[in-house]
Structure formats: structure tokens, C-alpha cells
Amino acid sequence: MTLPLILLAGVGMWFLLEGAAYAVAPDFMRRLAVLVTQMSTRELTMAGLVGGAVGIVLIWLAVHLG
């Protein structure tokens, strides 16, 4: 599997999961958006870094174990 295909699959999965979350739980997603606006820049940055690190680990596992 090449890097462009992995990225394409990842973006597709992102849209799938986010779309499903809004379709299944729109009120929860609305409340979550309000919570995000109340977070500090530092908290959002840390959450983004942690999320990115988890994503890298999952992609690495998918490539090397699959």
C-alpha cells in the first residue's frame, strides 16, 4: 500500500466517522463544539498533538502488521 493510498483511505475514514457522529448524535456534537470553544489554546494544542501521535501509531501499526 502506497502513502497516497493510505492518506486517501485515512481521509475517507475521517469523513465517514465524523459524518456518522453528526448523523447519529447531532446534539452531542453540538455540545462538544461548545466545549471546544471554551478550551484554552494550550489545551487544544495538546489535544491535537496527542491525537496526531495516536494517529501516527495507528497508521504505523496498520502498515507494518497488515
Contacts of 29 (CB under 8 A, 6+ apart): 21, 22
Chain position carrying cell 456534537? 29
Residue ranges making up the domain that contains 41: 3-65
Q: How many domains, the chain?
A: 1
Would you say the pTM of this structure is higher than 0.85? no
pLDDT digits (tens, 9 = 90+) for 8-48: 988 999 999 999 999 999 999 999 999 999 999 999 999 99
Residue type, 16: L
